Amino acid sequence: MKIGQAVKMAAKSIFANKARSALTMLGIIIGLAAVIVLVSYAQGQNLAMEKLYSSMGTNKITVYAYTWNGSNNVSQALYDYCLNLSDQVVGFSPNGNVYSQPTIKYGSKTLAPASHSSGGAVIVGGTAMSTGGENNYPSIYLGNEQYGMCNDYTIANGRDLSYLDVKNGNQVCVLGAATAEYLFNFANPIDQTITINGLPFRVVGVYAYKGDPSSAPANPEDTNSWVDQVISQMDQMILLPSTMTRYFNNNQPIDQYVVKVRSSEDLRPVITSLKTFLSGIIDPNSGSFGVNSDDVYKEQQGDATAMQQRFLGGIAAISLLVGGIGIMNIMLVTVTERTREIGIRKAIGAERSSIIVQFLIEAAMICGIGGLFGIGVGYVGTLILGKLSFNTILIPSPGITAGAALISVALGVIFGMYPAIKASGLQPVVALRAD
């Protein structure tokens, strides 16, 4: 029997029992759609985390170091030590926060902390980060002239902090893009003065958006993706010279720092060096320290995501297995229904191989058609899930799509093999006696 003739016979058999064929395909459709959607979701989650870590800054090490008596010697010693690592370290900055949430004013615009917050927090790289609040109140950071470089902020207008700004305690500030837009709209903020708790600060620069300004909501909470919320929060910030700590936080010294290394290969050696250095200058009975990197957490996140993909793919594969068993069942029924036809064909000289090929083609066609519908459903499901979960257009990778198509045909061959062999093994006399 020619292949073309076998295909025509298989199509005729499938369309002669439309309802039964459709129900048989349903298991394949659900199984393949589940594989595509779940694996694509895990990939989308990985892309979202990569986007977040990239926005937070790459090749960056966060250092916590303080003594119980509040001595500021640790800061200077750490700075001097990082200067000695100039072959590996390209930037160092205090990374303090103003925790008192002072009122910020410019003209008729006022930014004050909300009375209560509906926003939550997520842990990224071991650091708690806000996922949204009820207004545009920014985070206020205390850093030096290398703060922007260390945290991957770029100047869009004006200039960054300077060494003299920090040394002399100049009352100047650099605004995040969202904060500048809220306070000044389309006006140029450079050399304008804002007040923070009544203290005047001259705006010397504005950082560029980390997020997408064209799609950024007026309130970060309005977006569906918590990753986009966190990135939007990064654009709601004000940077002050670290020496301004004397006006805020009850003059407590800054105990958090950020170190920028030259490349990812330098991360682990510098982390080890910093831990060794800090253990030598901080007595555990009078202080504490910690050194970590978001890039290390990113690697761990990648491993966890790969494991999650395999786990979700395994769960979805169970649906495919059930669908494959359904194929085997329907093909056994088909063999029973067509026993007399098989007997006639064998009686006139049909070879076993031609009968096996006929039934395998029919099983493969059922799975193939079901696979096409499954891929379509998987694409639609992935688009919907991507929009709801990540607020983005998420499309299954070509590899997943090609793999799904191959799996659908392979299922037909694998689960159709036993019915096909059984059909080819029927004796002509027995088959012809069948009703």
For the chain, what are the domain ranges? 3-50+301-433, 58-297
The pLDDT of residue 99 is 87
Are the CB atoms for 394 and 44 separated by under 8 Å? Answer: yes
Please name every residue paired with 121 in a beta bridge, in sequence order, or none if there are none. Answer: 130
Are the CB atoms for 25 and 15 separated by under 8 Å? Answer: no
C-alpha radius of gyration, the chain, whole number? 33
Long-range (24+ apart) CB contacts under 8 A made by 382-386 are 382/36, 382/37, 382/40, 382/41, 385/37, 385/40, 385/41, 385/44, 386/40, 386/44
- HSE, CB side, 13 Å, CA atoms: give it for residue 259: 33
Beta-sheet strand order (sheet of 89-94): 89-94, 256-261, 60-67, 287-293
Are the CB atoms for 189 and 157 separated by under 8 Å? Answer: yes
Structure tokens at 99: 């925790």
Please name every residue paired with 261 in a beta bridge, in sequence order, or none if there are none. Answer: 89
Nearest CA-CA partner of 245 in 256, 253, 234, 257: 253
Distance CA 394, CA 48 (A): 11
**pLDDT tens, the chain, 435 aa long:** 567 777 887 788 788 888 888 888 888 888 888 888 888 887 787 777 666 666 666 788 999 988 877 655 788 888 899 989 989 999 999 999 998 889 999 988 999 886 544 444 444 444 444 444 446 889 999 999 999 999 889 999 999 999 999 999 999 999 999 999 999 988 999 999 999 999 999 999 999 998 666 545 455 455 456 666 777 788 999 999 999 988 988 878 888 999 999 988 888 899 999 999 999 888 888 888 999 887 665 665 666 667 766 776 677 677 777 778 888 888 888 877 777 777 777 777 778 888 888 888 888 888 888 888 989 999 999 999 888 877 778 888 888 788 877 877 788 888 888 888 887 887 766 655 655
The pLDDT of residue 163 is 94
- HSE, CB side, 13 Å, CA atoms: give it for residue 133: 17
The pLDDT of residue 161 is 96
Residues 6+ apart with CB under 8 A from 425: 352
Strands (E), 125-234: 127-130, 139-143, 155-158, 172-175, 193-196, 199-207
Are the CB atoms for 75 and 257 separated by under 8 Å? Answer: yes
Nearest CA-CA partner of 97 in 260, 237, 261, 295: 237
Task: Determine the residue type at 24.
Answer: T
